[in-house]
């Protein structure tokens, strides 16, 4: 093989490694951090179910300050005015944002069934492409509307 061909192969490999490096997670071969937009499949990092909901920043109904609810079933306690709310009061509060559990960025979030559910149903981080879903499928839910209502109980349901 000629020296020119060897140099070309070596440069091609180096260029390929530089292109792939930002996409790799680093915990083994074939572990890429590609999202649905990039691959037309599901995201690599993600969770479903209310118990796995990302940390939420809520508005205190008394003093309007920001309150962190780190886990979905934690009580909601305002550090400023000492308002104490149960976790099941989440739907009545104003959700300001969700925080990505992977990179701590603000997540884009929304609802697919706002006429039925009072809670956020999905969130995606635009930074690292982590994705959370309240529920991926409603096919197994038995109710008149076909969609569950309200907030699930700890350890139950919505996964």
Using DSSP, how many helices (H) and how many strands (E) does the chain show?
A: 2, 9
Note if the pTM is more than 0.75: no
Cβ atoms < 10 Å from Cβ of 125: 26
Percent of the chain with pLDDT over 70: 69
Mean pLDDT of the chain: 78
pLDDT tens, 20-67? 776 665 555 555 555 444 444 455 578 889 999 999 999 999 999 999
Domain limits of the chain?
1-27
> DSSP letter at 120?
-
Find the mean pLDDT for residues 77-83: 91
Report the pLDDT value the prediction gives residue 8, as an integer from 0 to 100.
86
Sequence-ordered list of residues with C-beta below 8 angstroms from that of 125, at least 6 positions apart, any chain: 100, 102, 103, 105, 107, 108, 131
User: In whole angstroms, what is the distance from residue 130 CA to residue 69 CA?
Assistant: 19
* Average pLDDT for 130-155: 59
What phi, psi does 122 have (nearest 5°)? -155, 160
User: 102: how many CB neighbours lie within 10 A of its CB?
Assistant: 15
Q: Is the dihedral of CA 85, 86, 88, 90 positive or negative?
A: positive
């Amino acid at each position: 093989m000629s020296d020119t061909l060897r140099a070309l192969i070596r440069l091609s490999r180096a260029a390929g490694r530089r292109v792939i490096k930002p996409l790799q997670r680093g915990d083994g071969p074939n572990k890429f951090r590609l999202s649905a937009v990039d691959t037309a499949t599901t995201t690599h990092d993600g969770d479903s179910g209310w118990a796995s909901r990302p940390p939420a920043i809520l508005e205190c109904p008394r003093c309007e300050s920001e309150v962190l609810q780190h886990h979905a079933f934690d009580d909601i306690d305002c550090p400023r005015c000492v308002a104490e709310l149960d976790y099941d009061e989440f739907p009545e509060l104003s959700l300001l944002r969700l925080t990505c559990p992977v990179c701590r960025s603000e997540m884009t979030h929304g609802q697919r069934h706002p006429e039925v559910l009072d809670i956020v149903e999905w969130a995606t981080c635009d930074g690292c492409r982590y994705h959370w879903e309240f529920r991926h499928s409603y096919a197994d839910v038995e109710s008149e509307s076909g969609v569950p209502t309200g907030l699930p109980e700890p350890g139950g349901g919505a996964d």
